[in-house]
Amino acid sequence: MTTDSESNRTAVFVDGGRIPFQRSGTGYKRLSAYDLGRMAIEGMMARSPIIPEQLDRIIMGCVIQDVNTSNVAREAALGAGIPNSVPAHTVTMACISSNQAVTSAVNLIRSGQAEIVLAGGTETMSDIPVRFRKKFRQKLLDARKYKSIGDYLNFFKGLRPSDLLPEIPSISEFSTGETMGESCDRMAAHFNIGRHAQDEYALRSHQLAAKATEEGLLDQELLPATVPPSFEIITQDNGFREDTSMEKLEKLNPAFIKPHGTVTAGNSSFLTDGASASLVMSEQKALALGLKPKVYLRDYTYVAQDPEEQLLLGPAYAVPEVLDRRGISLSDIDVFEFHEAFAGQILTVLKALNSDAFATQYLNRSAKVGEIPMEKFNTLGGSLSLGHPFGATGVRLITTASNRLMREDGELALVAACAAGGLGHAILLERYPE
């Protein structure tokens, strides 16, 4: 039996949603991460019976920061009409940033510092910050101290024409200089995951997303977005390819390691704009407000590996940690929602979990973690087909898993994701009892 004190510090997931994810350069191409985050907050609050003044905190994930809205959670909250008395902060942990937002909310509730937290994330790849090169930036900063005409006349001294060119943010790992796609290609080759298997998995993801959209299975998590200046209403994701096929996927050239790589544009997640929001509360507060939680937010963990050798293997380390803490196995899980950075990445993680050799060499276990049944895995599509706005994906995963648990009459769900820097995350969800 749960006491009032325990209930007050038990974190529950009451609701979650996201504005429809859009391929970068399409539906949200004129908007900023601030705009997207604001719409997600507005959408979540509009369908919730709580009022903004009841929020104790707002936490949002964001990876590619705009210097004008560096604390985009605060700016988006103010733009959405949240009272200025509600603190808000932004977290960044690469692809698991909004996972961090949710677990930060859990920690605030467990420690008694908050009862209602709005946790989410926002990201745009349509308007990334483009800088001048270092030498020219330094000249501009030095120019603030100029006093004479001579100083200004010497501005271009020592500069080459190439120094005036813009500097596009690199997609490579800072610590290794290698792109995530290159790392995935090497990792897939090491685990003997071939091109055909990767294309098959990508096709599965797109077909499942198209089917889920057609049948309305994602409607519950979608928050309509109104895009100025025409105020067009976007109600559906536009990244999945319902008309793709193995024949089309097989024609694509390797994207990273040429000519023999296996990672292509077709079996990789694409650049995406989007935002998500969720309400995480103490169980006692939710019940006092007459709200029915969807799931308990139970055990979770974050892990880190060598970003050069095991950049994308985080879930293979995080999943067994969470299972062991609960004393359960993969067979006890009813719903699996894992982030799909690349088809090669997700297939490698699944193979590692089902490998005795990997378990003994890297997990200090005598036997493999086990095999995940595909009929329970990412059944509504995933990041390969729905998209991956870096700062927002974690809340999508938790929202989808929670809704699936209720729809499929399951008890436990497992959410996991990899992230740049060799990071990984897993969290266990338990369906709230009727």
Listed in sequence order, the DSSP H helices in 96-147 are: 97-110, 134-142
Task: Give the residue range(s) of CATH 3.40.47.10 domains in the chain.
Answer: 7-128+269-431
| Size of the chain, expressed as the number of residues it contains | 434
Residue 62 annotated in active site? no
- Sort strands 88-91 and 57-61 into parallel, antiparallel or unpaired: parallel
Single out the catalytic residue among 62, 93, 95, 397: 95
**Measured in whole angstroms, how far is the alpha carbon of residue 408 from the centre of its chain?**
24
CATH superfamily membership of 7-128+269-431: Thiolase/Chalcone synthase (3.40.47.10)
Predicted TM-score (pTM) of this structure: 0.94
Tell me which of 40 and 147 has the higher pLDDT.
40
The 10s digit of each residue's pLDDT in 251-266 is: 999 999 999 999 999 9
Residues forming a β-bridge with 93: 95
- pLDDT tens digits, 129-170: 888 788 888 878 988 988 888 878 788 888 888 887 887 777
User: Given a cut of 50, is residue 411 above it in pLDDT?
Assistant: yes
238 burial type by CB count under 10 A (0-12 exposed, 13-18 middle, 19+ buried): middle
CA gap 425, 99 in Å, rounded: 8
What Cα–Cα distance (Å) separates residue 378 from each residue in 239, 324, 327, 350, 401? 16, 22, 24, 12, 9
* Average pLDDT for 40-67: 97
Give the position of tokens 């719409």. Answer: 39
pLDDT at 1 over 50: no
Can 95 be counted among the known catalytic residues? yes
| Average pLDDT value over all residues in the chain | 95
| Residue 168 CB neighbours (<10 A) | 10
Residue 30: pLDDT above 80? yes
Reduced to 3 states (helix: H, G, I; strand: E, B; else coil), residue 305 is coil
C-alpha 64/C-alpha 77 separation (Å) is 18
Higher pLDDT, 145 or 19: 19
Strands of 305-422 (E only): list them. Answer: 335-338, 412-419
Q: Can you state the percent helix, strand and coil of the chain, rounding each to 5?
A: 40, 20, 40
Among 334, 294, 336, smallest CA distance to 315 is for 336
Q: Does residue 52 have a pLDDT over 70?
A: yes
- Judged against a pLDDT cut of 90, whether residue 110 lies above it is answered with yes
Catalytic residue among 418, 426, 428, 429: 418
